[in-house]
Amino acid sequence: MRIKMIYLAAGNSRRFGSNKLYADLNGKPMFLHGLEALEQVLYKDPDTELTVVTEFERILEYVKERASVFGDRIKTVPSPEREKGISYSIRAGLLGERADYYLFCVADQPWIRSQTLLELLKKIKTGGYAGGCVSFCGIWGNPAVFSDALYPELLGLTGDTGGKKILMKLENICFAEAKEARELTDIDRMGGNDMNFLEERIQKDGVVKEGNVLKVDSFLNHQMDIGLLEEMGAEFKRRFADAKVDKILTIEASGIGIACIAARYFNVPVVFAKKSHSINLDGDMYIAEVESFTHKCKNQVIVSKKFLNKGEHVLLIDDFLANGCALQGLISIVNQAGATVEGIGIAIEKGFQSGGRTIRNLGIHLESLAIVDGMDASTGKIFFRN
């Protein structure tokens, strides 16, 4: 059996600057993290060989040096057309001798573990699958592996389309479960400097309105960027890794999308509190009163007693935390049910309003992915908490 591992380290970074692969990450250049995981696979699985698609000087030098250990099982190939998209680097890596399987890894995914890769290869070798990929809580990610039968389709990819499209059409595929969400994280989304992925996006696409309102409707709560929501879901899972969560509770409408994607990572159902002006109080509902920050009106929010039970551990999720009224309503509903608030995950906390402090003072584990400490509607500037 012959397995060609292809490490896509050609660059083509638009968001991070030209050589993000050289960026220091925990004392090592970014490109080295994934490469070392692949070297572990070379050590442990004699069927494997490694082609590094790159033209970066430091990576070329590194691989040349490692050839003294791995001989012709490790080599580099250039990708002169990398600027045209990932499919050009995929093709560059595939050309040359054929193999039984092709495993593609990207160089900006530094937390991938060699054990996960070995697990994926073990599955594909023993199960006769057409392809497979690394996954986490049901979310598909990279690296991905393809049998030689798919070689023509891989060569036929165009532009910036990767192999996921091919995998999605297959029935006979396998998954290797990552140990933690960040194994699937590619560093483009994490932000390159001191801003995290969500802060970067807010900075880029958020609009500051008069009255301390931040509009994020182009990516979060009207049009929704699902890739970003997945990243947020993975991050919530990481931050609440030790929490016991039976259910996620959110509030309509803008919390629903975020909560649903997060729920994939926790593998639990989502309940959303409904807003209602006039309710038939038939006793089957938990009810709380919530003042809307954006609409300046009072709503009653309701949750059917059927969907929240005594003893359950509930994670609250919402898009914004401003004065904390929405969350107070949800906390009240959880309390009415005799359930426990296990934690609260917020996309954007407006740190200059009182909600965060109030909730933290209640002793609840609150995690906000981005905390905005100030906004200036006249300049559009947004300041994040470090």
Contact set with ligand 5GP (CB under 6 A): 213-216, 221, 254, 293-294, 318-326, 350, 355
Give every CB contact of residue 231 below 8 A, 6+ residues apart in sequence: 185, 189, 197, 198
Q: In terms of Cα–Cα distance, which of 263, 255, 257 is closest to 237?
A: 263
13: left (phi over 0), alpha (psi -120 to 50) or beta: beta
Shortest approach of ligand 5GP to residue 106 CB, angstroms? 33
Distance of alpha carbon 166 from alpha carbon 170, whole angstroms: 7
**What Rg do the C-alpha atoms of the chain give, in angstroms?**
24
Shortest approach of ligand 5GP to residue 374 CB, angstroms? 13
Residue 69 and residue 38 in contact, taking contact as beta carbons nearer than 8 Å: no
Comparing CB distances to ligand 5GP, the nearer of 50 and 321 is: 321
Task: For residue 284, count CB atoms less than 10 angstroms from its CB and return exposed for 0-12, middle for 13-18, buried for 19 or more.
Answer: exposed
Comparing CB distances to ligand 5GP, the nearer of 212 and 340 is: 212
Shortest approach of ligand 5GP to residue 355 CB, angstroms? 4
Comparing CB distances to ligand 5GP, the nearer of 106 and 258 is: 258
Both tokens assigned to 258: 């975020």
Comparing CB distances to ligand 5GP, the nearer of 30 and 370 is: 370
Shortest approach of ligand 5GP to residue 293 CB, angstroms? 4
Q: Is the dihedral of CA 209, 214, 217, 219 positive or negative?
A: positive
Shortest approach of ligand 5GP to residue 247 CB, angstroms? 19
Comparing CB distances to ligand 5GP, the nearer of 137 and 213 is: 213
Comparing CB distances to ligand 5GP, the nearer of 38 and 251 is: 251
Q: Helix, strand or coil for residue 118?
A: helix
Comparing CB distances to ligand 5GP, the nearer of 19 and 353 is: 353
Shortest approach of ligand 5GP to residue 139 CB, angstroms? 25
Shortest approach of ligand 5GP to residue 74 CB, angstroms? 50
Residue 34 and residue 7 in contact, taking contact as beta carbons nearer than 8 Å: yes
